[in-house]
Amino acid sequence: MEITNSIKYVGVNDHDVDLFEGQYIVPNGMAYNSYVILDEKVAVMDTVDINFKDEWLANIADVLGDRKPDYLIVQHMEPDHSANIKNFLEVYPDATVVGNVKTFTMMDQFFQLDPAVKRLVVKNNETLELGNHVLTFVFAPMVHWPEVMVTYDSTDKVLFSADGFGKFGALDVDEDWDCEARRYYIGIVGKYGAQVQKLLKVAATLDIQIICPLHGPILTEDLGHYIEKYDIWSSYRPENEGVMIAYTSVYGNTKKAVERLAEQLKANGCPKVVVSDLARDDMAECVEDAFRYDRLVLATTTYNGDIFPFMKTFIDHLTERSYQNRTIAFVENGTWAATANRIMAKMFEKSKNITVAETSVTIKSALNEESCAAIDQLAKELCGK
Ligand code: FEO
């Protein structure tokens, strides 16, 4: 695949991965992107997952013909991109590895590289001339590891954005960008909004025509759309108006309450209602939806003096990703000691700018007149009525 006359795609598609980064289901696989820049000097941008060593090296050889790479630029040391550094150097021992101080610390931890390997240690904003192409390295710590840097090619106006603007899904599957990019971003980079904001401010000063991420498609058109999404996600602003109801239910009574609430929300004109069963639905998709909408209802049972485990995990996912700027409401079910609402509220104590709905719902075992009335009241409150 040709990105520009002198930038070629040499990445791979992975349809065998069971859980990306050990936890994310990827129904449409995963792409590990890598690029070659052909100039007076030749640079390879990042490697790929360890299982694709041969395919990746063959892709590089195809593009190079009888040339040899001068540089291997390492933007990110997470093994989905760095696993083949040593394998690359076995084939191309004369190539210089380019990274920053932190990159090389990690590289030595992972590979104990031969001291004879040629290293070019770059500083933030340092440039590397390949001939016609001039690359500028912009450090982007915690997007999403501390050593991450992105690379701007001012000649072809390409931003090599590391994990930024990446998504789940292999490149040979056509699917909506927003959905799987959002699930990827919130899950993997969501905690580091401030760092992404910083990077977006730098990006705004550059003339960018093409974005080449390490996962997902190369972005060549309507870049404003993707940048706007990143701005919304990284500033923790809700993306859409709507209510997400996340619940757990042991015998179906909490589920009945949630179904009633969903109906009442729709009856009161709520533009969008999303209902997720935390025990059965993809947790990363649930987390994504909680960040997507401006209102969230959490419904669960008291369990072992605490709350039901899937709900506990879900709230941990939210708070550790700096969940903020939303309205939340609580629904609890307990047969003899209904304390879930108090426990859930406490879990958000340190979260910024959270408005807790005045109405909370307590169910004693099963819905009755009183709890139904509370649900109807909550629906009205969440719809501003
Ligand atoms: Fe795609 Fe942070 O690795």
pLDDT of residue 385: 87
Q: Please give the distance of CA 97 from its chain centroid, rounded to a whole number.
A: 27
Rounded to two decimals, what is the model's pTM? 0.96
Compute, in angstroms, the gap from residue 81 CA to the centroid of ligand 1.
Answer: 7
Distance from C-alpha of 121 to C-alpha of 100, rounded to nearest angstrom: 5
What does the longest C-alpha to C-alpha distance in the chain come to? Answer: 79
Inter-residue contact 99 to 122 (CB < 8 Å): yes
The pLDDT tens digits for 102-149 are 999 999 999 999 999 999 999 999 999 999 999 999 999 999 899 999
Smallest CA separation from ligand 1 atom 1, residue: 163
Mean pLDDT for all residues in the chain: 97
How many residues are recorded in the chain? 385
The token duo for 216 is: 């997902």
Q: Please give the distance of CA 206 from its chain centroid, rounded to a whole number.
A: 23
Distance from C-alpha of 322 to C-alpha of 348, rounded to nearest angstrom: 10
Distance from C-alpha of 321 to C-alpha of 343, rounded to nearest angstrom: 19
pLDDT of residue 171: 98
pLDDT of residue 78: 98
pLDDT of residue 1: 86
The pLDDT tens digits for 1-60 are 899 999 999 999 999 999 999 999 999 999 999 999 999 999 999 999 999 999 999 999
138 pairs with which residues across the strands?
150
Distance from C-alpha of 360 to C-alpha of 298, rounded to nearest angstrom: 10
The pLDDT tens digits for 75-101 are 999 999 999 999 999 999 999 999 999
Report which ligand 1 atom has the smallest distance to the Cα of 166. 1
Compute, in angstroms, the gap from residue 78 CA to the centroid of ligand 1.
Answer: 5
Helix axes of 223-234 and 193-203: crossing angle, nearest 10 degrees: 150
Whether the bond between 144 and the residue before it is cis, its omega within 30 degrees of 0, is yes
Distance from C-alpha of 236 to C-alpha of 326, rounded to nearest angstrom: 9
The dihedrals phi and psi of 343, each to the nearest 5 degrees, come to -65, -45
Compute, in angstroms, the gap from residue 219 CA to the centroid of ligand 1.
Answer: 18
The token duo for 114 is: 């031969």
Q: Is the pLDDT of residue 159 over 90?
A: yes
Distance from C-alpha of 23 to C-alpha of 285, rounded to nearest angstrom: 12
The pLDDT tens digits for 344-353 are 999 999 999 9
Alpha helices in 1-125 (DSSP H): 53-64, 79-82, 85-91, 101-111
Report which ligand 1 atom has the smallest distance to the Cα of 148. 2
3-state DSSP assignment of residue 33: coil
The pLDDT tens digits for 163-174 are 999 999 999 999
Report which ligand 1 atom has the smallest distance to the Cα of 32. 1
Question: Which residues approach ligand 1 with their CB closer than 6 A?
Answer: 76, 78, 80-81, 144-145, 163, 214-215
Report which ligand 1 atom has the smallest distance to the Cα of 214. 1
The pLDDT tens digits for 291-346 are 999 999 999 999 999 999 999 999 999 999 999 999 999 999 999 989 999 999 99
Smallest CA separation from ligand 1 atom 3, residue: 78
Give one DSSP letter per residue of 257-276, joined into a string.
HHHHHHHHHHHTT-S-EEEE
Inter-residue contact 127 to 134 (CB < 8 Å): yes
